[in-house]
Amino acid sequence: MTPRRAEHVAIGLMVSGAFLALAILFFIIAVIMIKGLPHITARFLLDNPMDMGRAGGIFSTIVSTVYLLVVSLVIAIPLGVGTAIYLTEYTEEGKITKIVRFGTECLAGVPSIILGLFGFILFVIKLGFGWSVLSGGISLAIMILPVIIRTSEEAIKSVPQAFRDVNEVLGGSKWQGVTRLVLPNAAPGILTGVILSVGRGIGETAVVIFTLGTSLRTPFSIFDSGRSMAVHFYILAREGISMDNAYATAAVLVFSILIINIFSYYLMHKFVEARR
C-alpha cells in the first residue's frame, strides 16, 4: 500500500470509529426519549407509584433520589475538598501525597457491587442503620469521593500562585489565603466536580439497591428506606412490571443526566476561559 493510500484508509477507519461511537450515543438517547417522553406527564412526576409501579407515577422515587444525593454530598464535599486543599496547599509533593493519590485511584477503581456489599455489611447490618437514606448516602459518598477530590485538586491548582504570594506579603495566614482567595476562585471548578458526581450518583444502582433498599414509600427520616429512580427503573424493567413506566423513568433519568452534564461542561468552559 502506498503511504497515500494508507493515509486514506486510516482516516476512513478513524472517522468511522468516531462515527460509530457517536451513533451509539445518539441511538441510546433517541430510543429512551422517543419511547419515554410520551408517558411523562405532570401526574407521572407528582404521583406516587401504585401497584408496585404498574400504575401511578414516580414521585417517591424522585424524593428518595434527591434525599440520597443530598446526604452523600454533605458527606463527600467536605472530605473531598478538604483532601484537595491538603494536597495542594498544606503539604509538599512527597510520600504522603503519593499515598493519598494512590488510595484515591484505588478507591475510584473499586467496583460498585463491592461498595454495595461493604455498605450492606457495615452500615445496614453491623451499625444497625438498616436499609436507609443514611446507609445509602454514606456508601454513595465513598463512591463519589474520588471524583470530587480529583476535580477540586485541578480547580485549586489552577488558581494563580500570585494570589497566594500576595496573601503572604500582606501578612495573611495560610488559612485566610485558603478561605478568602483560593476557595472562592476555585469554586466554579469545584462545583463542576460536584455536579458531575451528582450525575454519577443519579444513575448508580448496585451500591444503592443494597444500602438504600427498595421501599416505595417516601422517606422522611434519614433512617427510612427508599427506592431511587435508577433502582425503580431496574426493577420495572427486569421484572417486566411495566415497560411504559420503565421507559418513562429512564427518560427522566437520562434527561436529568444530560442536563447535568451539559451544565457542568458549560461551567467548566467558563471557568477555563476566565483563567486564560
Footprint of other proteins on 37-76 (CB under 8 A): none
Instruction: Kindly state whether residue 146 participates in binding other proteins, applying the rule CB under 8 A.
Output: yes
Residue closer to other proteins, measured from CB, 15 or 220: 15
Residue owning grid cell 477540586: 152
The gap from C-alpha 105 to its chain's centroid, in whole angstroms, comes to 16
Question: Chain centroid to CA 275: how far?
Answer: 25
Contact call for residue 122 and other proteins (CB under 8 A) = yes
159 φ, ψ (degrees, to nearest 5) = -70, 125
Least separation, in Å, of the C-beta of 176 and other proteins?
Answer: 10
214 CB-contact burial (10 Å; exposed 0-12 / middle 13-18 / buried 19+): middle
CB 49 to other proteins: min, Å: 17
Residue 263 interacts with other proteins (CB under 8 A): yes or no: no
Q: Where are the alpha helices (DSSP H) in the chain?
A: 3-36, 42-46, 59-89, 95-109, 112-119, 133-157, 161-169, 174-177, 183-203, 206-211, 229-238, 243-275
Q: How many residues bind other proteins (CB under 8 A)?
A: 82
CA angle 127, 231, 245 (to 5 degrees): 150
Closest to other proteins by CB, 66 vs 79, is: 79
Among 34, 70, 113, 127, binds other proteins (CB under 8 A): 113
Nearer to other proteins, 133 or 150 (CB): 150
Interaction of residue 241 with other proteins, rule CB under 8 A = no
- Does 142 bind other proteins (CB under 8 A)? Our answer is yes
Cell representation of residue 241:
412490571
In the complex with other proteins, the residue whose CB is nearer, 54 or 174, is 174
Binding span for other proteins by CB under 8 A among 54-62, 145-153, 162-170, 180-188 = 145-153
Of 40, 115, 190, 252, the one binding other proteins (CB under 8 A) is: 115
CB 59 within 8 A of CB 263: no
Q: Does 199 bind other proteins (CB under 8 A)?
A: yes
Asked whether the beta carbons of 196 and 263 are under 8 A apart, the reply is: no
106 interacts with other proteins by CB under 8 A: yes
Asked if 18 touches other proteins (CB under 8 A), the answer is yes
